[in-house]
Amino acid sequence: MKNDLFELPIPTRDGRFTARYSGKGLAEMDFPKVGRASPRAAKQNGVPATISRWHRATETALKNILAGRTAKNLPPLDLTGGTEFQQAVWRELRKISPGQTRSYGEIAQAIGKARAVRAVGGACGANPIPVLVPCHRVLAAHGKIGGFGGGLDWKRRLLAREGVSL
DNA sequence: AGCCAGTCTCGGA
DNA sequence: TCCGAGACTGGCT
């Protein structure tokens, strides 16, 4: 199923991210692989012009966020893969701007399900587009770090870039 | 039925 | 004050 997506690399000074696009927009993003992956060249030909344009936006947005800046001109995001609940959580996450943080409980409350705090954690972990959908800005209660699917090192690094101290 | 990227309370160090 | 266990939670596989 995932192979219907166009996969394009994004080289940054933090490593090589991978972006995947559906016909609706950016659908997935991967952190650089720790084990230094194959340098295989993605077929740049055969990529529709629309997706090239989206990819350029993604690249700029990613680099801005990695630098702790606000991302402007995001590409369209295809989040249709999630459940209603997950999409509600992701929508809420996108309202958090750089340097800000929320707790899982605050997110739960914001989507009208104050007791679903644990499920919010699950939805964050299921987020297919980390960084652009800023799951790293969600902390546990009382400023504790919480978890992170991409590894806590990444969460700490991203927050540090945005000037958040734990 | 079982697993969680949570949170609260309470008890012991 | 700072953990750790336990209870309770709602959504997902």
d(CA A107, CA A27): 22
- Say how many residues make up chain A: 166
d(CA A163, CA A133): 18
User: In Å, what is the separation between the CA of A69 and the C1' of C8?
Assistant: 39
pLDDT of residue A4: 85
3-state secondary structure of A21: strand
User: How much is the pTM?
Assistant: 0.92
Asked if the model's pLDDT at residue A34 lies above 80, the reply is no
Whether the CB of A86 is less than 7 Å away from nucleic strand B comes out as no
A104-150 pLDDT, tens per residue?
999 999 999 999 999 999 999 999 999 999 999 999 999 999 999 99
Nucleotides of B under 7 A from a protein CB: 4-8
Q: Which two tokens stand for residue A140?
A: 């546990």
Residue nearest to nucleotide B7 (CA to C1'): A141
Which CATH topology does A84-161 take?
Arc Repressor Mutant, subunit A (1.10.10)
Residue nearest to nucleotide B6 (CA to C1'): A118
Domain boundaries, chain A: 2-66, 84-161
**Nearest alpha-carbon partner for A65 in A145, A136, A150:** A136
